[in-house]
Structure 1
């Protein structure tokens, strides 16, 4: 079953076409990778799905319903969460507080209840803290819950960003270069965490990644972009030997 579908997606910046008529379908409960050389349009594609950019043409559907023209927080509420290529945490807030920010969209208490510290609001805040702690346990950061986010090692910051995304209770989790800057040990731990999220939580995962070892080990389904167009799609074995993919990464002579 397809959970996320884009049809004839186009995005232009001035005279530059960054995403050019892409048709992509992502199967529910699977790990899909979107790969391609630098400048292929991968992050632009993520920005279109999450409402940071509006497409010039095309459709984006989650569970068969359009999410076009929705604001980023509305798309998050409907079930799409993401991490970023450049980590975006609230550096002066604690690890626990960062995850609680992700839980905010599911809290019922409004500003009035928060200011008056109503009993119902206090109870909800306590439940929120408990859920945030559970998510920190899940990603292995519970011992650091009171540390400032900007004091964490790089790999831990990546896991914290994933925990915050999980706090929004997503159906689809977009990971933009999650292994960037990680050492080999951190990368192995990340692979294990992503597998657990798919297997235990049933979340559909779509990742952008340049680490081809990670892509081939994790992915059920791979889509390849080049100059804003889809040039290949398939399982890892098909993509690894595809001449157009080899050409896009290594040059035409390498594909011959």
Structure 2
């Protein structure tokens, strides 16, 4: 059953069409990848799903409910979270504080409770810290929980950003080039983490990624964009041998 349904969405910026008539879906509990050359319209596509941009036409539904006209924070409250191509962490805050910030969408604590130090507020804070620690341990970051985020290695910052996105308890998480800038060892570790993540956190995954080894290893379904249009979709085997995909990537070596 699809958790996300995208129907004929188009995005125009003046005379430029960034995405044209794209339809796709993400099955609940699945890992779906969006691939394509630079400039293919992948990030614009993500930005429409998360409410940063509104489609010029078409519809986007989460569990059958349209996300159109919702602001990014409203989309997040519906159960959609994301990471970014360029890491966006609070560098001067600690690792655990970054994760706790991600939890604000589903915590009941308000300023009144904080100022009065109410028992219910204190209990929720303790539970939030326990959950934050569990997330950090899953990503192998538990020993760094009090370290400033800016002091982490690049690979650790990538993991922390995913942990923070998961802290919102999303139904669907969008990962925008999660392996970008990682070395082979870090990429291998991340591949294993993403493989298990769906079941561990009961979340469906949609990712943009240029590392085709990672994509082919973890994805159940792949969407291929080129010049703002969908040129192919299917399982990894079908995509690997699709002539249009090979042409878009300027040779078969790029997708093996």
> TM-score interval w.r.t. the shorter chain?
over 0.9
RMSD: 1.3
Following superposition, the deviation at residue 114 of structure 1 comes to 2.2
2:236 maps to which residue?
236
SS of residue matched to 2:70: coil
- The alignment covers a number of residue pairs equal to 252
Following superposition, the deviation at residue 73 of structure 1 comes to 1.4
What does residue range 173-184 of structure 1 map to in structure 2 within 5 Å?
173-184=173-184
Following superposition, the deviation at residue 179 of structure 1 comes to 0.4
Distance in 2, matches of 1:119 and 1:25, equals 44
2:37 maps to which residue?
37
Q: Deviations over 1:141-196 (max 9, x none)?
A: 00000000010001100110111011111111110000000000000000010011
Following superposition, the deviation at residue 200 of structure 1 comes to 2.6
Distance in 2, matches of 1:190 and 1:120, equals 36
Distance in 2, matches of 1:203 and 1:113, equals 31
SS of residue matched to 2:249: helix
What does residue range 19-58 of structure 1 map to in structure 2 within 5 Å?
19-58=19-58
Distance in 1, matches of 2:78 and 2:151, equals 32
SS of residue matched to 2:189: helix
Structure 1 residues 131 and 200 mapped into 2: Cα distance closer, same or farther (>3 Å)? closer
1:78 maps to which residue?
78
2:171 maps to which residue?
171
Which residues of structure 1 form unaligned runs of 5+?
none
Distance in 2, matches of 1:14 and 1:150, equals 38
1:107 maps to which residue?
107
Distance in 2, matches of 1:4 and 1:128, equals 28
2:145 maps to which residue?
145
Which stretch of the first structure deviates more once superposed, 107-116 or 156-165?
107-116
Which residues of structure 2 form unaligned runs of 5+?
none
Following superposition, the deviation at residue 112 of structure 1 comes to 2.0
2:122 maps to which residue?
122
Q: Deviations over 1:67-116 (max 9, x none)?
A: 11111111111111111000000000000000000111111122222233
2:246 maps to which residue?
246
Q: Deviations over 1:13-34 (max 9, x none)?
A: 1211001111111111111100
1:201 maps to which residue?
201
Distance in 2, matches of 1:206 and 1:5, equals 12
Distance in 2, matches of 1:42 and 1:189, equals 24
SS of residue matched to 1:194: helix
SS of residue matched to 2:174: strand
Distance in 1, matches of 2:90 and 2:59, equals 33
Following superposition, the deviation at residue 117 of structure 1 comes to 2.6
1:185 maps to which residue?
185
Distance in 1, matches of 2:41 and 2:210, equals 13
Distance in 2, matches of 1:107 and 1:152, equals 27
What does residue range 1-20 of structure 1 map to in structure 2 within 5 Å?
1-20=1-20
SS of residue matched to 1:250: coil
